[in-house]
């Protein structure tokens, strides 16, 4: 029965996208919003029904495969379109559909009155369908279709307000940077298909274990190429520069694409192929070091941002860095647990930011806010709950439990464990500082921007639901000193195996509790001293300009990649190969003009040429 329902999960949002894409212009806005939100809500309901049945009685082998049709069959290679459901893909499906539904519901009011209302929901539905295909695909080639689908939809949604050239530039940047990474991923897929003869995930992993030795060149190269693709999609350094600019899209787009779904695709890819990555320990080291760099770079850059959405964008990079930190430690379950909590609290933060800006005439500068605690109480409490989870405040936030799990796995990792833990705890301190910097500047002090309008149920209901979940979901997995619950780990055990509970020194849990609180205290002290407000009026120094520019990565890429490429394009504009085709064109045009000159409309001339041609043909036959 589960297999019979499974195709509806991606199918319903896809149907909604088709209906809105074909008929959106003639549909009333209320109907378009109902189709957009309703199709994802229905998919979420189907996913919930499947999860309940799974919980009641798991299928044989904890796997459901729904083969839909054969895609291609070539000598030595075949690919089929089939849906593969196990506890990991079930978790991803529930997050995408249920969080996605709340974001769609929020969007129906947030985007009311905007031009392209139906188009917006068509793009959003298509994105959800592509993301569901990505996580449910049983074949890497089919996964790549979903992978590229979310990239295209990201381009369309980031550039939704394309009338502003800056938005179009941000959309192009997100598309190009991720496409560059996807070339590496495609090369990895080609390597796997040539070496192992299949891209069907489970047979491919079995063949890899049988044919390749751990640490050999083939699994290392394949894993590294796939990792580059994951880095691009998940905005990990150095392929992260597209994410802050992608905030040009509507705020609900940021909540969906850049919090709960697309940017976590790289994490899902590594977890799904963890059997391959376990055979490439050098790549795990690369993952760990890349995660360390990303979470620290992003946390430092977030400290000086004035746009509330850019603060959250850099926090997304940093928190996905924590997920990759867990992956580098081989703690697949910890990475997914932080994915789960992050999807909830980051969606809550983005939607809260949207609820704030829509009442402030879409003002996004945190220095032009202030005093909104009493003016916008629902947005205040929602943002506060999300910021507490982002900062990993102990006991009261979901982010604390998942980050504690990640830091414990980092400490226990042989070799790089100490470096990873120090970077993680430093990032936790910086996260608490910048997240509550936003809280204090936006909600405390005097009111600086007039609040207008009001909220409907479609705004406050998603905020309340996400806030409630963010307060409670962390208790699915608790550290030993808080009871050692392993509900989440037990759910994923059929795929990831039973996690080994490491005995950690007292320093690890104590630091995990004290450091975030210390960060909040420091942030409040800087607020009370006027340090944060001084950033708005003082000329930026070298360090603040450096951090505000994203540590110069855009300028570096401009000098080393963009300008040389444009110079090469200019040089090759008159390429010798092009000149060859220009000569062919000129010859063809000359022949055309010569032939056209003979078409004067004089019948006697035509008849003379006909007789002459016939005579020449006869003579050739006679004297040949």
Residue 191 has what pLDDT?
94
The pLDDT-based confidence of 603 (bands split at 50, 70, 90) is confident
Higher pLDDT, 10 or 565: 10
The model's pLDDT over 82-132, given as tens digits with 9 standing for 90+, comes to 999 999 999 999 999 999 999 999 999 999 888 889 999 999 999 999 999
Tell me how crowded residue 155 is: count the other CB atoms within 10 A of its CB. Answer: 23
CA proximity to 263, closest of 217, 206, 321, 320: 320
Contact 144, 185 (CB under 8 A): yes
Percent of the chain with pLDDT over 90: 57
Higher pLDDT, 57 or 575: 57
The rounded distance, in Å, linking the Cα atoms of 392 and 513 is 8
Contact 107, 116 (CB under 8 A): no
The answer, yes or no, to whether the previous bond of 238 is cis (omega within 30 of 0) is: yes
The pLDDT-based confidence of 48 (bands split at 50, 70, 90) is very high
Residue 84 has what pLDDT?
93
The model's pLDDT over 10-29, given as tens digits with 9 standing for 90+, comes to 999 999 999 999 988 889 98
Name the average pLDDT for the chain: 90
Domain boundaries, the chain: 547-573, 575-623
Q: Is the pLDDT of residue 624 over 70?
A: no
Residue 549 has what pLDDT?
86
Q: Is the pLDDT of residue 590 over 70?
A: yes
The model's pLDDT over 221-241, given as tens digits with 9 standing for 90+, comes to 999 999 999 999 998 989 889
Helix H or strand E segment including 208: helix 201-211
SS in 3 state form for 367-380? HHCCCHHHHCHHHH
The pLDDT-based confidence of 457 (bands split at 50, 70, 90) is very high
The pLDDT-based confidence of 610 (bands split at 50, 70, 90) is confident
The rounded distance, in Å, linking the Cα atoms of 443 and 532 is 14
The pLDDT-based confidence of 1 (bands split at 50, 70, 90) is low
The pLDDT-based confidence of 445 (bands split at 50, 70, 90) is confident
The rounded distance, in Å, linking the Cα atoms of 469 and 260 is 14
Q: Which residue has the tokens 């080609």?
A: 190
State the average pLDDT over residues 489-496.
Answer: 88
Residue 303 phi/psi, 5° resolution?
-65, -20
Q: Is the pLDDT of residue 324 over 90?
A: yes
The rounded distance, in Å, linking the Cα atoms of 38 and 27 is 15
Of 359-373, 489-503, 525-539, the poorest mean pLDDT is in: 489-503
Of 101-105, 526-530, 590-594, 597-601, the poorest mean pLDDT is in: 597-601
Residue 485 has what pLDDT?
83
Cα–Cα distances in Å, from 164 out to 160, 254, 272, 313?
Answer: 10, 18, 39, 20
The rounded distance, in Å, linking the Cα atoms of 558 and 504 is 45
Residue 136 has what pLDDT?
95
The model's pLDDT over 144-188, given as tens digits with 9 standing for 90+, comes to 999 999 999 999 999 988 888 888 899 999 899 998 999 999 999
Q: Which residue has the tokens 């000129």?
A: 586
The rounded distance, in Å, linking the Cα atoms of 112 and 461 is 17
Q: Is the pLDDT of residue 600 over 70?
A: no
State the average pLDDT over residues 402-416.
Answer: 91
Residue 484 has what pLDDT?
79
Pairing of strands 77-85, 64-74: antiparallel
The model's pLDDT over 244-268, given as tens digits with 9 standing for 90+, comes to 998 888 999 999 887 667 888 999 9
Q: Is the pLDDT of residue 576 over 80?
A: no
Residue 43 has what pLDDT?
95
The model's pLDDT over 27-42, given as tens digits with 9 standing for 90+, comes to 998 999 999 999 999 9
Tell me how crowded residue 78 is: count the other CB atoms within 10 A of its CB. Answer: 15
- 369 Cβ contact list (under 8 Å, min separation 6): 308, 356, 360, 363, 441, 442, 443, 448, 449
The rounded distance, in Å, linking the Cα atoms of 435 and 575 is 53
Residue 260 has what pLDDT?
65
Residue 204 exposure: Cα atoms within 13 Å on the Cβ side: 28
Q: Which residue has the tokens 């929901």?
A: 121
State the average pLDDT over residues 335-357.
Answer: 94
Of 198-207, 276-285, 572-581, the poorest mean pLDDT is in: 572-581
Question: What three-state secondary structure class fits 484?
Answer: coil
The rounded distance, in Å, linking the Cα atoms of 425 and 384 is 21
The rounded distance, in Å, linking the Cα atoms of 302 and 258 is 16
């Amino acid at each position: 029965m589960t297999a019979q329902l499974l195709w509806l999960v991606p199918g319903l949002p896809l149907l909604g996208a088709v209906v809105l894409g074909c008929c959106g212009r003639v549909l009333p806005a209320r109907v378009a919003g109902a189709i957009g939100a309703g199709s994802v809500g229905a998919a979420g309901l189907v996913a919930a029904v499947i999860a309940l049945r799974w919980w009641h009685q798991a299928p044989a082998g904890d796997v459901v495969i729904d083969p839909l049709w054969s895609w291609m069959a070539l000598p030595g290679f075949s690919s089929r379109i089939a849906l593969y459901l196990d506890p990991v893909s079930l978790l991803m499906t529930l997050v995408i559909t249920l969080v996605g539904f709340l974001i769609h519901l929020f969007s129906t009011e947030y985007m009311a009155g905007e031009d392209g209302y139906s188009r917006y929901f068509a793009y959003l539905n298509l994105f959800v369908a592509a993301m569901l295909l990505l996580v449910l695909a049983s074949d890497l080639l089919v996964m790549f279709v979903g992978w590229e689908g979310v990239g295209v939809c990201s381009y369309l949604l980031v550039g939704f307000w394309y009338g502003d050239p800056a938005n179009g530039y941000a959309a192009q940047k997100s598309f190009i940077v991720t496409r560059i990474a996807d070339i590496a991923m495609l090369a990895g897929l080609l390597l796997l298909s040539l070496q192992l003869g299949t891209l069907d995930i489970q047979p491919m992993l079995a063949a890899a274990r049988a044919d390749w030795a751990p640490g050999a060149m083939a699994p290392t190269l394949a894993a590294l190429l796939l990792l580059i693709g994951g880095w691009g999609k998940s905005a990990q350094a150095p392929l992260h520069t597209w994410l802050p600019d992608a905030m040009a899209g509507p705020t609900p787009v940021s909540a969906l694409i850049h919090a709960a779904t697309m940017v976590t695709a790289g994490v899902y890819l590594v977890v799904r192929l963890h059997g391959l990555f376990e055979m490439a320990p050098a790549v795990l080291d690369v993952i760990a070091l890349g995660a360390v760099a990303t979470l620290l770079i992003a946390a430092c850059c977030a400290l000086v941002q004035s746009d509330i959405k850019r603060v959250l964008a850099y926090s997304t990079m940093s928190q996905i860095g924590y997920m990759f930190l867990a992956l580098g430690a081989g703690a697949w379950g910890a990475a997914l647990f932080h994915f789960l909590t992050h999807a909830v609290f980051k969606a809550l933060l983005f939607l809260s930011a949207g609820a704030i800006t829509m009442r402030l005439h879409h003002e996004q500068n945190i220095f032009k806010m202030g005093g909104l605690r009493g003016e916008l109480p629902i947005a205040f409490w929602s943002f506060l709950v999300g910021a507490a989870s982002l900062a990993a405040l102990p006991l009261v936030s979901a982010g604390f439990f998942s980050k504690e799990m990640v830091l414990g796995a980092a400490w226990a990792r042989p070799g790089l464990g100490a470096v990873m833990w120090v970077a993680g705890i430093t990032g936790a301190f910086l996260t608490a500082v910048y997240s509550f910097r936003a809280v204090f500047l936006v909600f405390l002090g005097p009111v600086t921007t007039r609040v207008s309008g009001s909220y409907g149920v479609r705004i406050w209901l998603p905020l309340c639901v996400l806030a409630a979940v963010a307060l409670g979901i962390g208790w699915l997995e608790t550290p030993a000193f808080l009871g050692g619950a392993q509900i989440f780990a037990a759910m994923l055990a059929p795929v990831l195996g039973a996690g080994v509970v490491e005995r950690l020194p007292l320093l690890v849990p104590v630091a995990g509790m004290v450091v975030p609180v210390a960060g909040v205290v420091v942030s409040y002290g800087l607020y009370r001293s006027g340090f944060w407000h001084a950033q708005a009026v003082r000329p930026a120094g070298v360090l603040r300009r450096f951090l505000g520019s994203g540590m110069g990565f855009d300028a570096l890429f401009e000098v080393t990649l963009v300008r040389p490429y444009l110079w090469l394009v200019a040089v090759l504009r008159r390429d010798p190969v092009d000149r060859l085709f220009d000569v062919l064109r000129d010859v063809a045009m000359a022949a055309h003009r010569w032939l056209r000159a003979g078409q004067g409309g004089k019948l006697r001339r035509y008849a003379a040429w006909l007789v002459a041609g016939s005579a020449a043909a006869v003579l050739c036959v006679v004297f040949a």
